Amino acid sequence: MAAEEHAIDALGQFKLTTALGPLGASVNFTQSNLMMLISGLLILGLMYFGARPQAVVPGRLQALAEMAYEGIRKMCIDQIGEEGKAFFPFVFTLFMFVLIGNLLGLLPFSFTYTSHIAVTLALAMTVIVLVTVVALRIHGLHFFSYFFPTGAPKLLAPIIIPVEIISYLSRPVSLSIRLFANMVAGHVMFEVFASFILMMAASHALGSFGVVGAVGPMVLNVLLMGFELLVAFLQAYVFAILTCIYLHDAVHLH
Amino acid sequence: MDVAAAKALGAGIAVIALAGVGIGIGNIFSALVTSVARNPSARDQVFGLGILGFALTEAVALFALLIAFLILFT
């Protein structure tokens, strides 16, 4: 088969290599870490240069910074209530880190750090540990009544309590896998359609028709890029809003 | 059956779950359209809920897709 010589290497793009030459190699500084550093600097730069002009009619950068800030602040207060103001910095940091990571990954020759389960699981575990600590601090041992909803018949306790505990423990898993799988699936799709372009254009059987036909997957890839921009924003938003919902549960217990 | 063929079949079977997810996402957006059509002023609140439901449903699709990738590429 002719396709064998252009086998699709869909997962090769997620391989970690060391960045910054021999210095990076000596401390295992990967390109994933480099992208995290860049995204951190970008976020700091956006907030610093966006907040500095303090114009009444904001410029582009200031409008972007204010939109992100006010949007997430409103989401925190809507979802958690007045206590949400205390958690706003945490949720905003998470949102920006995930959003910039997703968007940076769409640039050619870059790397999506959110496409690694290690990164997303670490973020999700941070959220869950914080939620549990907050709940224990506010409610003390009363927190454990969370696992048995008030008003449920006592007879059902042996069934409800294990189910509630499992659903509580599965939160970090679903939170991390959602983000990681979305990113992996998107980038694998890019890779597959990009391979189709090469396979069609290089095919001997199709000849010059193949070169014309290769426009098809090319157009699809362009459309996919638009879709992935949406997904990049949506997943960051979902990550932040689920964090808010979990925090609401911790603060108010149902 | 040789292993490559079994892998391709397995990956195909794994993504059957996408049928249910398709129905689910269709349901979510049909409900979203209906509720916005009935009460356009509720759009801002309902839209956030709709997107949240979409994301939660889509996660199920991605679990299936992940299994398919694991079968195919590892």
A25-50: pLDDT as tens digits: 888 888 899 999 999 999 999 999 98
User: Does position A4 have pLDDT exceeding 60, yes or no?
Assistant: no
- pLDDT the model gives residue B30: 96
Shortest CB distance from A181 goes to which of B51, B65, B72?
A: B65
Is residue A102 included in any domain, yes or no?
yes
- pLDDT the model gives residue A130: 94
- Residue A182 distance to chain B (closest CA, Å): 7
Is residue A56 included in any domain, yes or no?
no
What's the total number of domains in chain A? 1
pTM of the full structure: 0.85
- Residue A208 distance to chain B (closest CA, Å): 30
pLDDT in tens, A187-213: 988 888 888 888 888 877 777 888 888
A126: tokens are: 């941070």
Is residue A68 included in any domain, yes or no?
no
Is residue A237 included in any domain, yes or no?
yes
Is residue A245 included in any domain, yes or no?
yes
A224: tokens are: 């996919």
* A6 confidence band (pLDDT: 50, 70, 90): low
Interchain contact, A10 vs B59, CB within 8 Å: no
Is residue A15 included in any domain, yes or no?
no
- % of chain A at pLDDT higher than 70: 97
- Of A121, A42, A68, A61, the C-alpha closest to A237 is A68
Burial class (CB in 10 A: 0-12, 13-18, 19+), A115: buried
Range of the domain at A206: 87-252
User: Does position A86 have pLDDT exceeding 50, yes or no?
Assistant: yes
- Residue B62 distance to chain A (closest CA, Å): 6
Residue of chain B whose alpha carbon sits nearest to that of A231: B55
Question: How far apart, in whole angstroms, are the C-alpha atoms of residue A240 and residue A93?
Answer: 9
- pLDDT the model gives residue A136: 92
Please provide the DSSP assignment of B4-53 as one string: HHHHHHHHHHHTTHHHHHHHHHHHHHHHHHHHHHH-GGGHHHHHHHHHHH
Name the fold adopted by B3-73.
F1FO ATP Synthase (1.20.20)
Q: Kindly list the residues from chain A whose CB atom is less than 8 angstroms away from the CB atom of residue B72.
A: 10
- pLDDT the model gives residue A152: 79
